[in-house]
Chain A
């Protein structure tokens, strides 16, 4: 399904005469998630778990969009991980595109949450929003709940930058 959607996306981009960035949201399983965030380089990965139905998550998305732009030239990569249902992936794309959010986003569908939540972050109860920092292939900081403001998010990012 991902392959066809990617193909469709490329075709749509090619034939599109209007050139503006469209967010494509792939569906990842746990190994794909780990491949993306656990990288042996000096980039700090700021990974935010959210969902379109989660009010506090949606309210703090502008902070992540602002950070995406602010850290564009720095070794910082902001990534949104959607916890929407797989069947809602187009809705997630539409949601991000309508708001012109350009932050990288994928949907994590990793099976039994009782297993994958523990693997990703043992301290995490499973409520969203939640944000994890990864550096050099390691989970280096974790924050459960939303951020009060831009400075709170920046302070969190700078804790490991």
Chain B
């Protein structure tokens, strides 16, 4: 009996551990969420009745990498929202350690940059943990399949954060283009340098 309890405990803690460590992988179904947008309204994936999927981007205000990608995130939304893949940006950073990432600062930044997509505040950091997001920017491309949302790509937007003009591989765009064409995504995950998400202490 004791052995059984111990092994059950081991399984449960291992599952919890691997969930906490890894988050979603390509091919996983994601759980919908409801987070507050900068306009004060809650946003969920279920609100988008006609979309084919989403470009879910963990980002923030303070990080130079995230800032370098703001215009490219706008361009992604301009190009793909109409095709059925809108951008949903989520800021998961702890505002106590990074006041420049607090809700008011998000509103200011979104206005300055004329964000035309939701910029959601993951105050509890639960959604970032659920996804396994670790840095900003960190992109998850999700495809709607029936009533499920399936992860099809995780990683970077492209291969050159310093200079948009020198980009050779547009990873996020290639993934969405493939999905829109009904083809498998060639590169399903990529690595990039980024600002680690600042977790609450």
Contact = CB atoms under 8 A, between A and B. Distances in A.
Interface of A: 51, 53-56, 83, 85-87, 111-114, 117-118, 124-128, 145
A126 B162 contact: no
Contacts of B63: 53
Interface residues of B, number: 23
Contact of B195 (A54, A111, A112, A125): A54
A127 B135 contact: yes
B194 A126 contact: yes
Contacts of B171: 114
Nearest to A85: B162
Nearest to B196: A127
Interface string B62-73: 011000000000
Contacts of B194: 126-127
Given A56-B196, A114-B171, A125 B162 contact: no
A124 B196 CA distance: 12
Interface string B133-160: 0110000000000000000000110011
SS class, residues of chain B in contact with chain A: loop
26 contacts: A54-B195, A55-B97, A55-B98, A55-B198, A56-B196, A85-B64, A85-B162, A86-B162, A87-B162, A112-B169, A113-B156, A113-B159, A113-B161, A113-B191, A113-B192, A113-B193, A114-B169, A114-B171, A117-B192, A118-B191, A124-B191, A125-B191, A126-B193, A127-B194, A127-B196, A145-B196
B135 A125 contact: yes
A53 B64 contact: yes
B168 interface: yes
Interface in B185-201: 190-196, 198
Given A125-B134, A145-B196, A114 B191 contact: yes
A60 to B, nearest CB: 13
Nearest to B171: A114
Contacts of B162: 85-87
Contacts of A112: 159-160, 168-169
Contacts of B97: 55
Among B63, B159, B162, B191, chain A packs the most CB atoms within 10 A around the CB of B191
Interface string B153-180: 0011001111000001101000000000
Contacts of B159: 111-114
